[in-house]
Structures are given as C-alpha cells and as structure tokens.
Chains A and B, each alone.
Chain A
Amino acid sequence: MTAGPAAASGSSGPAAAPEPTRPVPAPDERSAPYWAAAARHVLTVARCARCSTYVVPPDHTCPHCGSTDPGFAFEPVSGRGTVRSWTVVRQSFLPGFRGEVPFLLVDVELAEQPELRVIGRLLDGPDTTLRIGAPVAVAFEDVADGVSVPAFALAEPSATGPGEVRS
C-alpha cells in the first residue's frame, strides 16, 4: 500500500482495516449458469443428460449412471424441501461472516429426489424453532452486485399435506 492523501481517514492513526466481506462465489465455466440463475432468484440443480439424475455437487462423472460425459445442465427446481438437520453458527472461521453470527444453517433434502441435499441459511432468524422434516422453500440473499446466494425460509406444509412430508 502506498501512503498518501487517499489513505487519510480523518483520524491521526492508520485507517481501521475494513470489515471483511462475506466470501462470494467464484463461478467457473461449469457453474456459471447456476450462479446466473441464482442472480435471477431461480434455484437450479445439475442434472445428468444421460440418466436424468440430479447431482449435488456436479463434477466430472455421474454418481448414478457412471457416465464420464454426463453433460450436466442446471435445471430449475421447485425450491421446496424438508429440513434434515440444522445448526446455529455462533462462531465462524470465515472472517467475512463474523458480523453475521449467530445464523442458522439448514441441511435440506430437496423435493425432487431422495437424498438430494443442500445446505443453506434459514432466513427466519437464529431463534427459529425447528424440527426434523419441517418444510422450507428457497429464498435468496443478495450479497453483492449481481450476486445472490440461495438460502431457505420456513414454508407452509405442501398442498398434499404433512402426511406427504418424509419423516
């Protein structure tokens, strides 16, 4: 850093280090469509072009059919799911999240496929009362210009009734 007028902060001491910001995703060639859809507040999941299985996270082979050319495409999903577990994060190892604690993370099984599980924040707040099987729906956090991160919010039981929610 060069010292100069631009660094002056009005105080006599050195400027306070800026509060670290939340880490943002660095999309790559494969994941770019996912983050582009998220920016439009659409949740997508990679789907194998050979066997139609949803895959989290996608990489170079399909865990279901074994294809080495799975042609994963990010397809919109309902965003509905059920809570399989949760934790309230009160101390984060990511400095950019230190201003956010406490916050709730939920392990969500998406409605589209058994064991299709993703992890995101529950935006209802850290004191929310939860139970295994609680229905949730996707929500989005706009964290930077053009960057939105999928999260969840508690939802009403689906139209088919709570009896249809996996226990």
Chain B
Amino acid sequence: MSARPGSKGQVAIVGYAHSDVTRHAGRPLGALAVDTARAAIADAGLTAGQVDGFVTSALFPTAGAHAAEDGVSLVSADWLAQRLGGSPRYVAGFQGIGQIPGSVALAVNAVASGAADYVVMHRALHNPKGSYHANPMRTAGGAQQWTVPQGFFGPLSMIALPYNEYLQRYGASRETTAAVVAEARKNGARIPWSYWHDRPLTTEEYLAAPLLSDPICRYDCDIPVDGVAAFVFTSAERARDLPHRPVYVAGQASSAPPRRRLPLHWPLDDIMAGGTALAKRLWEQSGVSPADVDLPQVYDGFSPFVYFWLEVLGLCPVGEAHRFVLDGGIDSDRPGALPALSGGGALGNGRMHGIPQMLECYLQLAGRAGERQRERATVGVACASSPHFGGAVVYSTAPR
C-alpha cells in the first residue's frame, strides 16, 4: 500500500466522559455539556487551561418545528469553548456528511496540523418537549413540495422504504430483526449510563409492538434523549505522558454525496452503493481489512442499518446479514461471533448518534470497559448514520 500523507496513527483518544442518558435531563443541555467536558479533561489527566481545541457536530436532527437554541437544544463548539475557559486556538463545527466521523476528522486534523495540541470533541443531543418530529406545516414549499403533499415525511417512512426493499429482496423478516434489536438492548442493559440500563427487550415484546410505518415499529428506532459525550484527542507523542492507554485513530472514511433524489428518499441500492464505496476507501485508508476487525460497531439508529453496515463492510455476504444475525453472528456473548452491537448502539443507549459505537471502540481498546471488557479488542470500527450518508472510523491499540 502506498503511504498516504496524513495523520494515520499519529493521533489518539486519551480520555472521555459520558453523561447519564435520560429522556429529559431536567437541566440545560449546555450545563450538562460543560460538566461532561470538564470530566473528560480530568479523565485525560489534563486541566482546562491545557485544552486548546474544541470541535463538534452540533446538528439537532429533528424534522419538527422546534427552535434550535445554542446551549439548550444543541451545544456548539464555540458555546462550549467560551464556557470552559483556557485559551482555545482552534474551535470548529462539522457540517457535512457523517456527523461523528466528520468531527473526529476535525479533531485529528487539528492535532496533526498543529492547530491545537489537546482537542475536546463533544456531542450533545437533546430531546425537546412534545413530539420529536411532528410538524404542523399547512403548506409545503421548496423540495418538500414533491413529497409532503403525498404524506411522505419524517424518518420512519424514510427508513421503512429501503427496509422493506431489503425484506422483499432477500426474504428477510421482522422476526430476524427482532434478534438485532434484542442484541442491542441486551448489551445496552449492561451499560450503567444507558437509558435502557437493566431493561433488555425480548423478541416477544418486539413482535407485539404495533407497526408505525410498515415494517418499522417503535423498537426499530432509537429513543430521543438528553445526553452528552466528550473525548480528548492529542498526538501519539503527547499521549505517552498521560494516564490512560491511548487509542489511535487508524483511518476514517465518509460517504460521498448520494445520487440526487426526493427528500428522504433512500433506495436500498443507493445505500449499498454508497456504503460499498465508503468501505473500500476505509480499508485502503486505514490499511486494515475486514478480517482484522475484532470490534466492529455498526450503526443502528434504525435497526435495518445493522444489516446494511454488516454487508457493506464485508463482514457477511450481501443479502445474508439477516441470516448471519439469526445464526448468532453478532451475539456478543458467543465465542467467535462478531460483537457488532456490544456497546449497545443507539437502540440500546438512546439517540446519541454515533457516540455509542465510538465509545465502545474507545473503552474496549483502552482496556477500560470494566466488567464488559473483552479479551480481544485490538481493531475497532465505529460506524455512524447510513452507509451512504454517514461515515466510519477505524481505531487501533497500536499506532500504525
């Protein structure tokens, strides 16, 4: 493989913190973010004065008519940096495709370029009062005029269409997907800060839930929450002097813009084509192959994404993910299986976007997963969003 210029393996995560994940925190999201960032900085063995970079993706992913207020419904990097003191040199927000991988790339590039020495990357997500996505619009203009008058609106129908395509094309069923959701909830139930802590879900409960937009039921969707996570990044060289075992960023790839379509129209072929191209770049860029990955963490904000990610990453053949899952292929308790949802994912934690995947890679690779610590965890992949409209980051215990 030809050497690429860049930061591969030169930048590491050296500390983290995570708030409790609740339906409504009972305090402003910004206050939660400040506390979480301070805890992450302390965890890394640093002081706020040493942190000179702040990055995030502040997106508030609602289709509803909620106002987006900094410090309340979202927390920008500027907002957080201003309140943590110190003398930041680099403050940036990610706007583009793949929120978490995109902001990880901002942090990595800031360190690699010398723009900052110690970067806090955070993600703050808010659950507003009332319905998350309800929108009382009476007229639909712009791009929405092509879909809203027909009643096509919001993420449930968005994901229901490619999910049904998958079920029809490959003969899969909701019974299989029950196994996906039960696996996520089993693992999420073991995580103290999770909204679903101690609350696993049975296949029977899953199958008894009414459908919302066929074949999607409520348990196929991550639950909206208030929650904040923060990570500290620095160079491999500086990481040596810090208390925790560094976890290196070995590579990153984000989706290219997908084919132009109607708003929220995500055909299965688009998802798979975009994801396959992303995975090819991810392996080339990181120098690892699917067989090297002992800790894939697939994104599951909607359960069908698990099938799509397993297939585009080459962890099972295309069209086979549903059988793979049913055969125990992602059972985190089964020796030899791929623990693809061991961190509980979004379904097992709450709507924290790609944070559960990233955090599981960090905790396991840093040897900090406590009772959940896996024997073998050397290369992890943290996926985010849809394979055609997201991204993935490769983490490693070794600088590469």
Contact = CB atoms under 8 A, between A and B. Distances in A.
B151 A103 contact: yes
Interface in A87-118: 87-97, 100, 103, 105, 107, 115, 117-118
A87 B63 CA distance: 19
Given A26-B141, A57-B146, A63 B151 contact: no
A122 to B, nearest CB: 10
B133 interface: yes
Interface stretch (A7-15, A17-25, A67-75, A157-165): A17-25
Nearest to A131: B168
Interface in A44-103: 55-57, 59, 63, 84-97, 100, 103
A89 B265 contact: no
Contact of A93 (B131, B147, B268): B131
B153 A94 contact: yes
A22 B212 contact: no
Q: In which size bucket is the chain B interface?
A: 35 or more
Given A89-B213, A93-B135, A23 B140 contact: yes
Given A25-B139, A25-B149, A119 B265 contact: yes
Contacts of A96: 136, 138
B47 to A, nearest CB: 45
Contact of B262 (A24, A27, A56, A150): A56
Interface stretch (B158-166, B329-337, B358-366): B158-166
A23 B140 CA distance: 6
B291 interface: no
A143 B151 contact: no
A119 B54 CA distance: 41
A100 B141 CA distance: 21
A38 to B, nearest CB: 9
Contact of A24 (B140, B213, B215): B140
Contacts of B211: 88, 90
Nearest to A132: B168
Contacts of B152: 105, 119-120
A149 interface: yes
B141 A87 contact: no
A63 B260 contact: yes
Nearest to A92: B151
Contact of A85 (B146, B153, B165, B260): B165
B261 interface: yes
Interface string A125-167: 0000001100000000001000001110000000000000000
The CB with the most chain B CB atoms within 10 A, among A27, A86, A119, is that of: A119
B169 interface: yes
A85 B145 contact: no
B134 interface: yes
B164 A91 contact: no
B259 interface: yes
A137 B260 CA distance: 24
B187 interface: no
Contacts of A21: 138
A95 B134 contact: yes
Given A88-B213, A117-B265, 4 more contacts: A25-B148, A27-B145, A85-B268, A119-B161
Interface of A: 20-28, 31, 35, 55-57, 59, 63, 84-97, 100, 103, 105, 107, 115, 117-121, 131-132, 143, 149-151
